[in-house]
Each structure stands twice: as structure tokens, then as C-alpha cells.
A and B are shown apart, each in its own frame.
Chain A
Amino acid sequence: ETGVTQTPRHLVMGMTNKKSLKCEQHLGHNAMYWYKQSAKKPLELMFVYSLEERVENNSVPSRFSPECPNSSHLFLHLHTLQPEDSALYLCASSQGILGGTVDNEQFFGPGTRLTVL
């Protein structure tokens, strides 16, 4: 295990539902990330948080709302999703946010498989 956990592992929701994905890291890292992995597409970075502050929002629609209450927890609140939002959502953490050092290697959680009906 990588020290990053995600719940739930599977989620089915209707387009009018509101749900939340949870990520927790036990590595003492200061940065956390949300990625989207769709079928036949590369992983896409959605959000980056460093010390509970959002430092990157990668043009993600407002129906996805992240929350980082502390450096160990990251949430992704979902509302009014579309079927094309069905994907695997991966959380990751790293020691810091500056690219290019081995200390900033990202460790990934197991993901939440989301299906939007």
C-alpha cells in the first residue's frame, strides 16, 4: 500500500445527486492532488493543494468542488454530474509542490470508480 487511501472505491450516482469522494494520506505530505482517469485517455490533473491552499485548478467544471480541510485530507464534492464524468478518480500526495525533485514524487491512492447514470 502507498499510504494514500480513498473512499468509496466504487460510486454510482444519478445526474441530480450530490456525493463526495474522500482521500486521506498517512505519509506526512504537504501536497495533495486529484486526477481523473477516463477510458483510453491519459490521466488528467484536476486540482493541486499545498498546505491546504489550492494552487492549481486545471480548468475543471464547477460541478466538481474540492476541499482540503487539512494536509492529510482531501475531498471532491460532486453535484449535477454528467455521464461523461464517469471515470476513475485518483488522489495523490507528495512532500512538496515544486516539480523536479525526488522528494516530490507523487504517491497514488487506489482510486474511486465513479459511474454517472
Chain B
Amino acid sequence: ELKVEQNPLFLSMQEGKNYTIYCNYSTTSDRLYWYRQDPGKSLESLFVLLSNGAVKQEGRLMASLDTKARLSTLHITAAVHDLSATYFCAVDQLGATNKLIFGTGTLLAVQP
């Protein structure tokens, strides 16, 4: 059974600081997704990582995928308050029905 673990579950950081959220998964997968969710809002797709070594950047967020280590990271550079949200990683398996297995989420609070 595919399991996805995120850490930390909660992250409080100051504006301007850097930090990394980790996403580990238990079985082979070549596809990993990062989503953002604001309170009371839907999930917004941030990144789709499709191969080993994939790195994508958008603004202050950068995501990477290491399929051999079964690890993805979401790195936050010089955090700003607007990045406060819950971040989810999700994994699916090549060829299977498009069934995303989500991590528990990381609640990020960026303090002024």
C-alpha cells in the first residue's frame, strides 16, 4: 500500500527565512504533485514532477524529486506572509487509475 508522509506537520517561520518541507513515499512512483490549500479554499496545483531529478521553481517555491530516495522537497526561499497556507504532496503510480495518495499536509505560518 502506497503511503505518503510529510514533515513537518506544522511550520512557523519568520519572513525572509528559508525552509524545506519533506515528502517521503513508500513505493515506487515517478509522479509527484504539490498542492497549496488556503483556509476554506480548494487545492491549487503548484508543481507536477514527472521524473527523477525533476526540479521546478515558481517564485519563492522550488520543488524537486528524487525517485530513488522516494523523496520530494518543497523549498521556500525568503518567505513572505502570503505563502501562509497548507501544502500537500501527492503521489500516483504509473499506469494505475489516476489515484492520488496525499500526505497529511504541512501547515505553514509565516510571521511578519
**Contacts A99-B31, A100-B30, A100-B92 known; 9 new A-B pairs at CB < 8 A:** A42-B104, A42-B105, A43-B88, A97-B97, A98-B97, A99-B93, A108-B44, A109-B42, A111-B41
Q: Is A106 touching B100 in the complex (CB atoms < 8 A)?
A: yes
A78 within 8 A of B: no
Which are the 10 A-B pairs with shortest beta-carbon distances? A100-B94, A99-B92, A108-B43, A43-B102, A42-B102, A110-B42, A108-B42, A99-B98, A100-B31, A99-B96
Asked if A74 CB lies within 8 Å of chain B CBs, one says: no
Measured CB to CB, the closest approach of chain A to B35, in angstroms, equals 8
The distance from the CB of B72 to the nearest CB of chain A, in whole angstroms, is: 15
- Chain A, range 64-81, C-beta contacts under 8 Å to B: none
Residue interface bits A5-26, CB-to-B below 8 A is 1, else 0: 0000000000000000000000
A-B pairs with beta carbons under 8 Å apart, 26 shown: A2-B42, A31-B98, A40-B104, A41-B104, A42-B4, A42-B88, A42-B101, A45-B100, A90-B42, A92-B43, A97-B97, A97-B98, A98-B95, A99-B93, A99-B94, A99-B95, A100-B30, A100-B50, A100-B93, A100-B95, A100-B96, A107-B45, A108-B44, A110-B41, A110-B42, A113-B40
Interface size on A, residues (CB 8 A): 30
Q: How many residues of B contact A (CB 8 A)?
A: 29
Q: Once bound together, how far apart are the Cα atoms of A92 and B101, in whole Å?
A: 14
**In the complex, are the beta carbons of A98 and B98 less than 8 A apart?**
yes
B25 at the interface (CB under 8 A from A): no
Closest residue of chain A to B94, judged by CB? A100
Question: In chain B, residues 51-98, which have Cβ atoms closer than 8 Å to a Cβ of chain A?
Answer: 88, 90, 92-98
